[in-house]
């Protein structure tokens, strides 16, 4: 059989632990037999990030800028425990944070429809997309441990030498301190990509933040969305029969739980991180959620929303049977290949991505599922391990 050719490469970013194991397996079983994979490979596994002083992460992000399409495996964000486990030279920053800071985009996360699975919120009959601002805030913070009494100040020195200064707190003892930022340009790109995405999907757009507390910081987000809507997007939204509105994040949570879903919910960086995990869990499994970072220059980075599934990896290392769900990782690849096909005008590659997704859906519908999905189904089917699942998908793909 002739394999499908690719005109331009996809930037491939390998990762850690269980997802790294499955990454190689997905390529071997489901991609390479059918597609002459053309990738620019970067090893973002923690040992290589440590060996390159994290330069590999920056290089990978620059490559996504160049080639427009990337696909990323989950990666470890080091903490104290990882410092000893991997004997690291430094506690490297989150690779996703680094990549997002370079690409400056919005992360759209949506559930993968799963045959036979009912959401925990019975009213949610339509998918919910969380649009997470992928730049700044807590993910690019500067933080101190305060060891004793003293005054903390916020100081901005303008390029012209002018100063803006405010007291944050007069510490009477030890504590912690944090500073974070965002930029008008990034906030505007965030708002634009959300409006465009909602129009593309023909779904209502909500933006929510906490401008009652962070009157200036969150206020700028709120005003930016409103200004762009009033000045540019309102007629297009009305023509599409959809609407945009802002509401406090507390109110949005309450509304969402009572809704039928079917909305695009735009959130600041941290809110989007937490809420997308909550929503994916409510829809079933973290392993059934796609995640794509889109920026204003038309760069796309696809990944699974879950992490490296550490506990499964430790079991795998002990040679125990593991049933880690590879579906979101497969969809990261199909998303990237489909986007590559769209940009390059290679319909055979797009058709392959569709066929692979259909094979995954048919496999699940036939009752061949990993443990996480089996646990959610009624009656509960027997689960297969990750390798059996991939083999079943391959069989359908070949048929």
Contact set with ligand NAP (CB under 6 A): 74-77, 96, 286-287, 303, 306-311, 324-325, 372
Q: How far is the CB of 285 from Mg ion (least distance, A)?
A: 14
Q: Residue 20 and residue 304: Cα distance in Å, rounded? A: 12
Q: How far is the CB of 349 from ligand NAP (least distance, A)?
A: 25
CB nearer ligand NAP, residue 208 or residue 308? 308
Q: Residue 244 and residue 246: Cα distance in Å, rounded? A: 7
CB nearer ligand NAP, residue 6 or residue 304? 304
Q: What is the tally of helices (H) and strands (E) in the chain?
A: 15, 14
Q: How far is the CB of 273 from Mg ion (least distance, A)?
A: 4
Q: How far is the CB of 152 from ligand NAP (least distance, A)?
A: 29
Residue at token pair 């036979």: 116
Question: Cβ distance 397 to 32 under 8 Å?
Answer: no
CB nearer Mg ion, residue 190 or residue 246? 190
Residue 273, binding choice from ligand NAP, Mg ion, none, Cβ under 5 to 8 Å by partner class? Mg ion
Residue 324, binding choice from ligand NAP, Mg ion, none, Cβ under 5 to 8 Å by partner class? ligand NAP
Which spans of this chain sit near Mg ion (rule: CB under 5 A)?
Answer: 273, 277
CB nearer ligand NAP, residue 100 or residue 268? 100
Query: Pick from 366, 138, 170: which is nearest to 271 by CA?
Result: 138
Q: How far is the CB of 277 from Mg ion (least distance, A)?
A: 5
Mind giving me the DSSP string for 290-315?
A: EEEEEETT--EEEEESS---HHHHHH
Q: How far is the CB of 129 from Mg ion (least distance, A)?
A: 15
CB nearer ligand NAP, residue 135 or residue 237? 135
Residue 277, binding choice from ligand NAP, Mg ion, none, Cβ under 5 to 8 Å by partner class? Mg ion
Shortest-Cβ-distance residue relative to ligand NAP: 307
Q: Residue 54 and residue 50: Cα distance in Å, rounded? A: 6
Shortest-Cβ-distance residue relative to Mg ion: 273
CA dist 369 to 17, 182, 217, 282, 333, Å?
A: 21, 42, 45, 18, 19
Q: Residue 249 and residue 279: Cα distance in Å, rounded? A: 14
Whether residue 379 is preceded by a cis peptide bond, meaning omega within 30 degrees of 0, is yes
CB nearer ligand NAP, residue 113 or residue 219? 113
């Amino acid at each position: 059989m002739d394999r499908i050719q690719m005109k331009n490469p996809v930037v491939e970013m390998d990762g850690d632990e269980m997802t790294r194991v499955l990454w190689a397996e997905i390529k071997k079983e489901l991609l390479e037999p059918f597609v002459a994979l053309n990738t620019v490979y970067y090893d973002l596994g923690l040992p290589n990030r440590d060996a390159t002083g994290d330069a590999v992460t920056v290089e990978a992000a620059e490559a996504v800028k160049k080639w427009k399409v990337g696909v990323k495996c989950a990666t470890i964000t080091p903490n104290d425990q990882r410092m000893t486990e991997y004997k690291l030279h430094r506690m490297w920053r989150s690779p996703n944070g680094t990549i997002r800071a370079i690409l400056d985009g919005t992360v759209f996360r949506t559930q993968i429809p799963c045959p036979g699975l009912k959401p925990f919120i019975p009213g949610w009959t339509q998918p919910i997309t969380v649009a997470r601002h992928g730049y700044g805030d807590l993910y690019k913070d500067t933080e101190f441990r305060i060891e004793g009494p003293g005054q903390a100040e916020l100081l901005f020195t303008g390029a012209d030498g002018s100063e803006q200064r405010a007291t944050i707190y007069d510490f009477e003892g030890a504590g912690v301190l944090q500073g974070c930022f965002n930029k008008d340009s990034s906030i505007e790109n965030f708002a634009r990509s959300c409006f465009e995405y909602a129009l593309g999907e023909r779904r209502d757009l909500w933006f929510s933040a906490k401008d009652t507390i962070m009157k200036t910081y969150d206020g700028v987000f709120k005003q930016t969305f409103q200004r762009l809507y009033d000045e540019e997007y309102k007629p297009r939204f009305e023509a599409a029969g959809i609407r945009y509105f802002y509401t406090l994040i507390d109110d949005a949570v309450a509304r969402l739980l009572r809704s039928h879903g079917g909305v695009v919910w735009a959130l600041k960086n941290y809110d989007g991180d937490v809420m997308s995990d909550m929503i994916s869990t409510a829809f079933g499994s973290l392993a059934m959620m796609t995640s794509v970072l889109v920026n204003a220059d038309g760069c796309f980075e696809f990944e699974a929303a879950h992490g490296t599934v550490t506990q499964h990896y430790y079991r795998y290392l002990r040679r125990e049977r593991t049933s880690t769900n590879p579906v979101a990782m497969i969809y990261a690849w199909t998303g990237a290949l489909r986007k590559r096909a769209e940009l390059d005008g290679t319909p055979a590659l797009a058709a392959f991505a569709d066929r692979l997704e259909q094979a995954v859906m048919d496999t699940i519908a036939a009752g061949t599922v990993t443990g996480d999905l089996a646990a959610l189904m009624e009656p509960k089917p027997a689960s297969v391990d990750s390798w059996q699942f991939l083999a079943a998908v391959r069989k359908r793909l070949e048929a």
